[in-house]
Amino acid sequence: MMGRVYALLHARNLEFLRDRSTLGWNVLLPLLLVAGLAAVFGNGVRPLFKVAVVGDVPTVQAQTLLEFTDYVAVDDAERLRRQVARHQIDALLLADSREYFYNPASPKGAVIHRMLQAVPSWQGRIEEGAGLRYIDWLLPGILGMNIMFSCLFGVGYVIVRYRKNGYLKRLSATPVRPLDFVLAQVLSRLLLILLITVAVFIGTDFVFEFPVRGSYADLLLLTVLGCAAMVSIGLLVAARVASEEVAGGLLNFLAWPMMLLSGVWFSLEGAPQWIQHLALALPLTHLLSGARAIMFDGAGLADVALELGALAGLTVLCIGLAAWLFRWRTD
């Protein structure tokens, strides 16, 4: 008995070691995760406060007083004032006018106000507002992550399996063109994931009562474009790949950076600038930033035009490339 077990164990180990794509992904994934998290959070001791600054660096007195503060240089003061009201950042400093905005309902904001009162020439301004619950801020991230995984793997992985078991080869004998097949896959997955996402949103909103200050129609349009962008990426990956292992590795390689760097779990305010620029290249970033703007700030379509344009452009580009590169057979 032990001899048979050993023979099967040895055969399975050799099979795994010879599958270079799976072996490589098992080695690379933890390394990439550690490197990504270190880039975002590995800057020594985490600061006690998060303060946004418009203009030059604050005075030496303010820097000394707020020694354990993470200063974030920004230009959009209006957007940051809304974040102060929602307790997303602790204070906003306007260096030129020597003013600072804080929310007295925020414990850290109140502490910063008391500390800055001792600094000459700085004037405090109250920015009132109800703080967002973490669950409010997290909801778009959870739904966006579910959209991402469902669209990428529900399309990309399935099409590779179709190609591998010969289904696409038989389909190529019909009048169906690659573009027809690609569009059908996009519409099918889009309809299913939209129904699921809307149902989950309604169910959780009934329990937690999430704030939606903008238009539900605008939020739905943004979600449609986000789903279409994710589906098109999955189609592009599966356009020529014949191995399920390779497809899984490529899809994970695309999904994990989006889950870590697109603001699913935490805000990237205060992260290194190159991390924030990298996040702008990810479609999930545009989906989540647009959804949060509509839900929390009451933004309209004009306010999220950049996000809508990025998602629509990526969808058209990836669908076109997928239809052009698509092949029916594995050979």
At residue 102, the 3 state secondary structure works out as strand
Residue entry with tokens 């399996």: 161
- Return the H-helix or E-strand segment holding 125: strand 123-126
**Domains of the chain by range and CATH?**
49-126 (3.40.190.10), 134-325 (no CATH)
With contact defined as beta carbons under 8 Å apart, do 157 and 248 qualify? yes
Can you give the pLDDT of all 331 residues of the chain as single tens digits? Answer: 556 556 656 665 666 556 555 555 556 656 666 666 566 555 555 667 777 777 665 555 555 555 556 665 566 677 777 777 776 777 887 777 778 888 877 777 788 888 877 777 777 777 766 566 777 778 888 888 888 888 888 777 777 777 777 777 777 777 777 777 777 777 787 888 888 888 888 888 888 788 888 889 999 999 999 988 988 888 888 777 777 777 777 787 888 888 888 878 877 766 667 777 888 888 999 999 899 888 888 888 888 899 999 999 999 998 888 878 777 766 5
With contact defined as beta carbons under 8 Å apart, do 51 and 108 qualify? no
Report the DSSP beta bridge partners of residue 71: 51
pTM, 2 dp:
0.72
With contact defined as beta carbons under 8 Å apart, do 80 and 89 qualify? yes
pLDDT of residue 54: 75
* Residue among 104, 192, 185 nearest 147 (CA): 192
How is residue 22 written in tokens? 């799976």
How is residue 162 written in tokens? 């179709």
